[in-house]
Amino acid sequence: MIDALWTGWRSQYLAGLGRLSAEDSLHQESVFTQILKANISDEDSFIVHRGELVFVILNAFPYAVGHLLVLPYRQVNDLSSLSAMESLELWATVTRASEVLSTVYEPQGLNIGMNIGRSAGGSVAEHLHVHIVPRTVGDANFMAVTANAKTISEPLNVTAQRIRECWLDTTSP
């Protein structure tokens, strides 16, 4: 059973915090925008696919091997800011990325989701992105609990190469 602690004072504290408005957050360049502007090669930035309006990049701090992020080139911070074409391509790319991960890693499941806004857990709240994480039974093993550490069994450059090759393979799903 979970104990509930009354912290009525906390609402006053939270109300006093300075919050970035959606407009203010768009004026801060996201790490993704910085990567795109830096003209770093796809190999060095771990971009695994470029579409017309969206791209796919490996998460630099993955929860599991193959953790992908799908996002628009244009920096927006919520779904309603996407154009109809961006939205269409974003979700089609999420579908294709899911197929590629399923082919390459044969996971037993996938976590697909997004954190919109900093309070929702969005570490890069100013640039909307969809997480796709391949999951297998036992992948969140004892290391996280006992050693406060994650084990990632494959270097990012190897993961990126495997995903790129499958993405380009027209015979894969």
- Per residue in 121-159, pLDDT (tens digit) is 767 889 999 999 999 887 765 444 445 555 567 889 999
Q: Where are the domains of the chain?
A: 21-168
Q: Is residue 14's pLDDT more than 70?
A: no
Residue 104: name the closest of 46, 42, 154 by CA. 154
- Predicted confidence band at 85 (pLDDT cuts at 50, 70, 90)? very high
Active site residue 129: yes
pLDDT in tens, 57-76: 999 888 889 999 999 999 99
Q: Which of 49, 67, 127, 129 is catalytic?
A: 129
Residue of 116 and 54 predicted with greater confidence = 54
To which CATH superfamily is domain 21-168 assigned?
A: HIT-like (3.30.428.10)
Rounded-to-integer distance, Cα 23 and Cα 28, Å = 10
| CA separation, residue 74 to residues 34, 71, 81, 155 (Å) | 12, 8, 10, 28
Place of tokens 């190469």: 161
